[in-house]
Amino acid sequence: MNATIQQLKTIHIFSDLNAEVLAELARSSEIDIYQQGEVLIHEGEKFPAKLHVIFCGRFLVSKIALSGKESNLRALSSGEMFAAPALFGDGIAPATVTALQDSQIITIDKSALIKTIQTAPEVALHILHYFNQRLQEMHQTIHGLISEKAVIRLARLIQYTARQYGVQETKKGACLKARLPHQQMARMVGITYEESVRIVKKELATIILYERGGIITIQDSSAFESLLF
């Protein structure tokens, strides 16, 4: 099934394009549906030469180390692009991408995208800007894994998730809209499940509230920000 002009219009890099250009892109697009737990691609497999954008839903990016240990690198949500190697590299997936919930992906053929860029060069700038931001985030993550304490890495993950997916103000505090179960947090910051539980229960006990299923509420925002300052 092709994406509609209205659906493409919701994607940031295409939001300023006129209807004629969007109609051309729509003809070269597809919407793929993934069920919760379904793997979009495994690490080492080859991506098709297409732009990949999450239209709705969430995906988890994970990677297997040489030791066999699996690490969760990040979660992707609606509007985010991924699979840069499909456009700029050899097409080999550097990690496994799995649906965290029922989700939809919009893909656009690379040839159609190049044709659009020739008409509207700003699209290329939007794409480069996006992937540059992702690269900076990766550098910050690597720096954190090398130099910061586990409690700080965990707090930064919570802060990033709050900013990325938003919070809902409740009587208890600012509740993250995205869930962060201990297993996911542990893999994303390079610690064990048990250490994640210990840090949340002891070192962050007066700052955040963790509830079953990965529901996290920031109870003391001032103390939380001071921890990361």
Q: Report the half-sphere exposure of 132 (CA within 13 A, side-chain side).
A: 6
209 secondary structure, DSSP code: E
pLDDT one-digit tens code per residue, 55-113: 999 998 888 765 666 777 788 888 888 888 777 878 888 889 999 999 999 999 988 88
Question: pLDDT confidence of 138, banded at 50, 70, 90?
Answer: low
CB atoms within 10 A of CB 201: 10
Check residue 184 and give its pLDDT.
87
Q: Which of 5-14, 34-43, 95-104, 200-209 comes out lowest in average pLDDT?
A: 5-14
Domain edges within the chain: 5-144, 149-228
172 secondary structure, DSSP code: S
Retrieve residue 201's tokens: 């229960």
Cβ(184)–Cβ(214) under 8 Å? yes
pLDDT one-digit tens code per residue, 175-192: 998 899 998 888 888 888
Check residue 144 and give its pLDDT.
57
Q: Give the CA-trace dihedral at 39, 40, 46, 49, to 10 degrees.
A: 180
Architecture per CATH, 149-228: Orthogonal Bundle (1.10)
Q: What is the mean pLDDT of the chain?
A: 86
pLDDT, average across residues 184-203: 89
Cβ(175)–Cβ(168) under 8 Å? yes
Domain 5-144 has CATH 3.40.50.10540: no
Cβ(61)–Cβ(97) under 8 Å? yes
The residue with greater pLDDT, 138 or 168, is 168
Using alpha carbons only, what angle is made at residue 213 by residues 142 and 192, rounded to the nearest 5 degrees? 40
DSSP assignment of 10-67 equals: TSGGGTT--HHHHHHHHHTEEEEEE-TT-EEE-TTSBPPSEEEEEEESEEEEEEE-TT
Check residue 57 and give its pLDDT.
92
